[in-house]
Amino acid sequence: MDPDVNVVLEYYKHLFPEFNVYHAVVYKLLWRIEPLNGEEIVKQTGFAKSTIYRTLHDLCAYNLVNKTNFKPIGYYVANPMKDYNSNLKKVLTKLEKGAEKLESLLENSTSLSGEIFLVKKDGGQQKLFLKETRALLSETEQLLQIKKAAEEQLKIADKQKLRTIIAYK
C-alpha cells in the first residue's frame, strides 16, 4: 500500500474513529485538481462499487469531500489541510469539554475526597492510603489523617445534630 495512504489513515483515525483504509485510499485519491466520479474511483482503486459509494458517503458526512453540481457527480477535496485543521479543532474542543466535565465530576465525587482507606495485604499487613492521591501514609501522617478525618466526621455529626434540633423547634 502507498505509504502516504498509511499516513492519512494514521492521522485521520484520531479524528474519526471509523476512518478505515478505504476512506484513506479514496480520500488521498481525491487530492487532485479535477473531480472524479464514482465509476472512475472504482476503476482506479479496484474496490467494489458499493464500498466506494459507502466510503464517499462517509467522507462527505465528515465534510472532507465535496460533490460537484453537475452530472455525472464528481467528488473532490477542496483543501486537505484546512479540513484537517478544522476537524482537529472540533475534536480538541470536545476533548477539552470532556476534561472539564470529568474534573467537575471528580471534584463533586465523595469517593475521591480527602478520606483515608485501609488496604489489607496478604500476610495480614495493613496500610493506610489517602483516597485522593492513593499515596501510602507514613505513621505520623496516618495519625494526623485519622485525627483530621475524625474531626471532619464530628463536624458533620454536629451539623446534622443542629439541623435536627432546628427542625424540631
**86-126 pLDDT per residue, tens:** 999 999 999 999 888 888 887 766 554 555 555 556 566 66
- Domain at 3-86: CATH code: 1.10.10.10
> Domain-by-domain residue ranges, the chain?
3-86, 111-168
Quick one: pLDDT at residue 137? 57
Quick one: pLDDT at residue 142? 63
**11-70 pLDDT per residue, tens:** 999 899 999 999 999 999 999 889 999 999 999 999 999 999 999 999 999 999 999 998
With 0.95 as the threshold, say if the pTM is over it.
Answer: no
State how far the alpha carbon of 139 is from the alpha carbons of 39, 52, 115, 151, in Å.
75, 67, 16, 18
What are the grid coordinates assigned to 53, written together? 459509494
